[in-house]
Amino acid sequence: MPDALSLTQPALRVHPPTVASVPLVFDSPHSGSWFPADFGHCLTEHELRCGEDTYIHELYAIAPSHGAALLEATFARTYLDANRAETDIDPDLLDAPWPHPLIDSGKARYGQALVWRNLSDGRSIYARKLSVAEMRHRIDNFLRPYQQTLRELIEGAHAAHGVSYHVNCHSMLSVGGKMSQDGAGSRRADIVLGDRDGSSCAPEFTELVRTFFADAGYDVRVNDPYKGVELVRAFSAPQQGRHSLQIEINRGLYMNEQTYEKTAGYQKLEADLQALVAMLAKFARSRSRA
């Protein structure tokens, strides 16, 4: 157990629009590579980075120049998964009972609740239990600031424009690991869109993005195997004009999954995502009621 719980840099970065705003917000909760000093893991940082959505905030970096905000988490996804509810705690990870109500999302079964117990290939992240104080520290200083900032960005866009479109940005392993929900060895599509079976955004928004990727030559699936988790659920209400969609990109398209280096495919993907952002900004502007 570490001696002190530390916070030496802000948990997030906001990149606000640099031109007139449109009701469009991007967030990248898993691309951070900061390992806080109190992490207390037993694997190497290189090993832990396989949980990271490497380069995702860079791939969408053009968003502010089209009037959209971009939020990125700076901390490692294996330290705390910002795409989880604070009630989604794995009780087996703690050395004492959690003193607040828990709601099991099903992720703890795979060792990947709010704080992960293991990587997707089953390797344990800790050789110890975590204290309630450590869990509390991670929630208070990492989860809540991130989710609160995302809420404010979405609410700000909605207040200014009468509508909001939120894109929750991720990448996925090209092949499922031992603890992956779709099973070990499963090969993923190029792109998986998640709208929680049509409940987190209007069907036209999912279809707009699906058509874009399909026309660009990508193999796209919708809600298979990823439907979207907490961040597309928490702040969406399509009936009130609050739309959230998750985009998962296959890491095999743009990076070496062993060395984390960019591959030759990076530039093409980046160019395609720049075109996607431009198209979505135009769409969001057309739906603004400002």
The contact set with Zn ion (CB under 5 A) reads 30, 53, 170
Closer Cβ to Zn ion, 163 or 172, answer by number: 172
Closer to Zn ion by Cβ: residue 53 or 195: 53
Cα–Cα separations (whole angstroms), residue 32 to 13, 79, 191:
10, 10, 21
The helix (H) or strand (E) run that includes residue 158 is helix 144-161
Task: Tell the smallest beta-carbon distance from residue 81 to Zn ion (Å).
Answer: 8
Residue tagged 């009621």 (tokens): 289
DSSP SS3 for 171: strand
* Residue 29: CB minimum distance to Zn ion, A: 6
21 vs 149, beta carbon nearer Zn ion: 149
Residue 189: CB minimum distance to Zn ion, A:
15
> Residue 2: is the preceding peptide bond cis (ω within 30°)?
no
Please name the helix (run of DSSP H) or strand (run of DSSP E) that holds residue 27, with its range, or none. strand 24-28
Shortest distance (Å) from residue 30 CB to Zn ion: 3
- By C-beta, is 135 or 192 nearer to Zn ion? 192
Residue with nearest beta carbon to Zn ion: 170
H/E stretch holding 165 reads strand 164-172
Closest contact distance (angstroms) between CB of 160 and Zn ion is: 28
Considering the complex, state which of residue 41 and residue 170 has its C-beta at the smaller distance from Zn ion. Answer: 170
For Zn ion, give the closer residue by CB, 29 or 36.
29
Whole-angstrom distance, CA of residue 203 vs CA of residue 238: 10
Tokens of 197: 């079976």
How far is Cα 54 from Cα 251, in angstroms, rounded to an integer? Answer: 8
Q: Which residues pair with 191 in a beta bridge?
A: 220, 249
Element holding 242 (H helix, E strand): strand 242-250
Name the minimum Å distance from CB 100 to Zn ion: 25
